[in-house]
C-alpha cells in the first residue's frame, strides 16, 4: 500500500491537484480520500467562535477514526468512509466503502497535522499558495457549490479560517517532503510517474522520481 498525503490551506487546490494525479495514473487501484469526510459528527462546543462552529481547528476532526481507516487500508482491508454534507456542514450517517486498494491519496487542510497519521504517508505534500488566491478560490467555490452567502464566507474567513491557518496549518508545512506552488502540472507528472512505478504499471525510467522516493 502506497499512501500520499496532500495538505494546504482552504482554497489551495488540494482536490484539483489530487485529481490531476488520478487522471495521469489512470488506475482504479489509486483511490482518493477527503479529510473532510472525517469531521466529527458534531463540532466540539468549546471551539465555537462568536457562537458559530469552528471547522478550521484541528480538533474538529475525528483523528482516531481517520488513523484507524488509514492503518486498515495499509493492511489491504476495506473501510466504511463517512459522507460529509457541505450544505448542512454535518457528517452524515451514510458511508462509502473504500478498499482494498494498492494506493491512496488523502487530501485535506490538516493531513500533515497529526503525528500518527502523518507517519503513515509515503509522500507528504504541502500546497503553498498565497492567501489572496486561496480566499478568492474559496469564495467562488462556496457560493457556487455549497450554497453559502458572501457575508457568511467573509465572516468565517476572518473568524476562523485565517487565524487557524496561521496558528495550526501553516506550521505543518515543515513536515512536507515537498512544497508546491500554484503551478502543479509538473509536480503531478512526477508524482503520478512514481505511483505508476509503485503499482508496477511502468519500469522505473528516469531520475525525475527520486525526490519522492
Q: Which burial class, exposed, middle or buried, applies to 42 when counting CB atoms under 10 A from its CB (0-12, 13-18, 19+)?
A: exposed
Which of 33, 164, 170, 2 lies closest to 107, judged by CA?
A: 33
pLDDT in the model for residue 207: 47
pLDDT in the model for residue 160: 95
Residue 18 to residue 16: CA distance in whole angstroms: 5
The model's pTM? 0.90
Biggest CA–CA distance in the chain, Å, is: 55
Residue-range domains of the chain with CATH: 2-203 (3.40.50.300)
Phi first, then psi, for residue 32 (nearest 5°) are -105, 125
Average pLDDT across each block of 10 residues of the chain; the chain has 213 residues. List them in order. Answer: 96 96 95 96 88 94 97 96 90 93 97 97 97 92 87 92 97 97 94 95 56 54
Residue 100 to residue 107: CA distance in whole angstroms: 19
Which of 190, 182, 181 lies closest to 213, judged by CA?
A: 190
Amino acid at each position: 500500500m502506497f499512501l500520499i498525503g496532500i495538505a494546504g490551506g482552504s482554497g489551495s487546490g488540494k482536490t484539483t491537484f489530487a485529481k490531476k494525479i488520478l487522471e495521469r495514473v489512470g488506475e482504479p487501484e489509486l483511490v482518493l480520500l477527503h479529510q473532510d469526510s472525517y469531521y466529527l459528527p458534531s463540532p466540539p462546543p468549546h471551539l465555537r467562535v462568536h457562537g458559530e462552529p469552528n471547522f478550521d481547528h484541528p480538533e474538529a476532526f475525528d483523528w482516531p477514526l481517520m488513523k484507524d481507516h488509514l492503518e486498515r487500508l495499509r493492511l489491504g482491508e476495506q473501510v466504511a468512509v463517512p459522507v460529509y454534507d457541505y450544505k448542512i456542514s454535518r457528517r452524515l450517517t451514510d458511508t462509502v466503502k473504500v478498499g482494498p486498494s494498492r494506493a491512496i491519496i488523502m487530501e485535506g487542510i490538516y493531513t500533515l497535522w497529526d503525528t500518527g497519521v502523518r507517519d503513515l504517508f509515503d509522500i507528504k505534500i504541502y500546497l503553498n499558495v498565497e492567501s489572496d488566491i486561496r480566499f478568492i478560490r474559496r469564495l467562488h467555490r462556496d457560493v457556487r457549490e455549497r450554497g453559502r452567502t458572501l457575508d457568511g464566507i467573509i465572516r468565517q474567513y476572518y473568524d476562523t479560517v485565517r487565524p487557524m491557518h496561521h496558528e495550526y496549518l501553516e506550521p505543518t508545512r515543515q513536515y512536507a517532503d515537498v512544497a508546491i506552488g500554484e503551478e502543479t502540472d509538473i509536480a503531478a507528472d512526477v508524482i503520478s510517474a512514481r505511483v505508476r512505478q509503485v503499482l508496477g504499471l511502468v519500469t522505473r525510467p528516469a531520475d525525475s522520481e527520486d525526490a519522492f522516493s
